Structure 1
Amino acid sequence: MSTCLVVIPTYNESENISEILESVLNQSVLFDVLIVDDNSPDGTAQIVREKQQKYPGRIHLLEREKKSGLGPAYIAGFKQALAMNYLYIFEMDADFSHNPEDLVRLYEACAHEGYDLAIGSRYVSGVNVVNWPMSRVLISFFASIYIQMVTSMPIRDATAGFKCYHRNVLQTINLDKIRFIGYAFQIEMKFTAWQYDFKIKEVPIIFTNRVKGESKMSPRIFWEAFAGVIHIKIRSFFRKYHR
């Protein structure tokens, strides 16, 4: 049995889901996969069910009634991963913006180097983004600088969505108190792990913009992150972070 579970939230990813599953399941490290699907009308979940027959016991499917945001999808996936007793729990996108081969590098940072949280970072060694419009690169890059300034968190890519958690991190964080749903969710999870003094490593990756399917990015998600950073920092003054 694998000790590693990759949580992938999906909404209308029928063009990518078959290929991403094949790639993740055929890495040099044994990864299982949990797809958290938000009732995709394009048949994403049906494709996953067909793949389950090819890889019995290695693909799990959690179907939710409606599309309610990235954060709640991951929280549901994390809770299921903990209940299934996985030791290393990953998060990644379904659209190949994260290279499945880099899962192995995140795993090695936690399993072999002793880190509690490994982050696939676009900005820890320059700016490693492919096929993004320059405007979006600049917004993302300077957003990370803004987040560092407000929170003092020593993480270069605070909105990154490609990570490996040791289960202790997710058991320590009160997942029911994570408030945000978009990029702010990613910031809040990292900030909380950092406040609990977990060992964190940024692993350099190359982020490639999706080729198939549509981006789920929206102005609302961006502004939630911008304002949410201040809220996260202020709220931390009234919390105690004891493991």
Structure 2
Amino acid sequence: METTEDVGRVLVIIPTYDERENIESIIGRVRVSVPEAEILVADDASPDGTGELADRIADGDDHVHVLHRSGKEGLGAAYVAGFRWGLERGFDVLVEMDADGSHQPEELPRLLTALEGHDLVIGSRWVNGGRVENWPKKREALSRGANTYSRLLLGFPVHDSTGGFRAYRATTLTKIGIDEVTSQGYCFQVDLTLRTVRSGLRVAEVPITFVERTHGASKMSRDIMVEAFLKLTQWGLEHRLGRLTGRPDA
């Protein structure tokens, strides 16, 4: 079994906006599940004091760091900022994880193990063994539909390209050009998946159990869903046009 020592230095990036009720618990669970890993809380100036609470935790734990951002700029921007922070400090693996407990830290060792022979590992809800708990049927149908739409339109084999629990090798993020990424939400995850596949890199999916948050409100909005639909459609049309012109990855 591959450990964090095998994959190198691991940074778990946890974006936050009004996650005061969740942040202490999720940090504690990560520290127990992967003790060698370090954590970066990327806080978008949460009005509820999430950033200040994260600072107090970091003061007592040298494996926890806090990146204070100027305002609510979106999930994609927070992750890109976190990636840059980690790459500048020489981390070998950068992990995306939600703050609300929907991603189980106890499953992170399996994602890191799967990095052996791969460049990106996605914790997948929609492969054999993956599942969701306490999700409304409407939300499940939306996620399944978005992923099927992405897979068919963009021509790649990934079943959960919108999934936000994932581990990247640093070399992957460097190669796919994260500084060029401006998309958010569902779209951000699909964008990075597509860039990874089209760069000829290796993607693995590991089944996970996704648990609906118990505290706080979801950050998913109508604007994020509309952006995702429009972007996916644009990328899909470009992909099909590229196949017709002999440039499928343009």
The CA RMSD measured in Å over matched residues stands at: 1.9
Does structure 1 residue 140 correspond to structure 2 residue 146?
no
* Whole-angstrom distance in 2 between the partners of 1:152 and 1:60: 38
Does structure 1 residue 89 correspond to structure 2 residue 55?
no
- Structure 2 match to 1:200: 203
Per-residue CA distance 1:212-237 (angstroms, 9 max, x = gap): 11110111111111111122345564
Does structure 1 residue 104 correspond to structure 2 residue 120?
no
- Checking the alignment, whether the CA contact within 8 Å between 2:34 and 2:108 is kept in structure 1 is no
- Structure 1 match to 2:45: 39
* Whole-angstrom distance in 1 between the partners of 2:113 and 2:231: 32
- Checking the alignment, whether the CA contact within 8 Å between 2:93 and 2:170 is kept in structure 1 is yes
Higher share in helix = 2
- Checking the alignment, whether the CA contact within 8 Å between 1:35 and 1:62 is kept in structure 2 is yes
- Equivalent of 1:171, from 163, 171, 174? 174
* Whole-angstrom distance in 2 between the partners of 1:233 and 1:31: 37
* Whole-angstrom distance in 2 between the partners of 1:205 and 1:127: 5
Equivalent pairs counted in the alignment come to 239
- Checking the alignment, whether the CA contact within 8 Å between 2:125 and 2:207 is kept in structure 1 is yes
Deviates more, 1:19-28 or 1:210-219: 19-28
- Structure 2 match to 1:14: 20
- Equivalent of 2:69, from 42, 64, 67? 64
* Structure 1 residues not aligned, in runs of 5+: none
For residue 180 of structure 1, report the CA deviation from its aligned partner: 0.7
The aligned amino acid for 2:113 is: E
* Whole-angstrom distance in 1 between the partners of 2:219 and 2:171: 30
Deviates more, 1:44-53 or 1:28-37: 28-37
* Structure 2 residues not aligned, in runs of 5+: none
Please state whether the residue corresponding to 2:21 is helix, strand or coil.
coil
Does structure 1 residue 216 correspond to structure 2 residue 219?
yes
Question: In 2 relative to 1, CA 76–188 (structure 1 residues): closer, same or farther, beyond 3 Å?
Answer: same
- What TM-score do the two structures reach when normalised by structure 2? 0.91
The aligned amino acid for 1:93 is: D
- What TM-score do the two structures reach when normalised by structure 1? 0.93
- Checking the alignment, whether the CA contact within 8 Å between 1:188 and 1:232 is kept in structure 2 is no
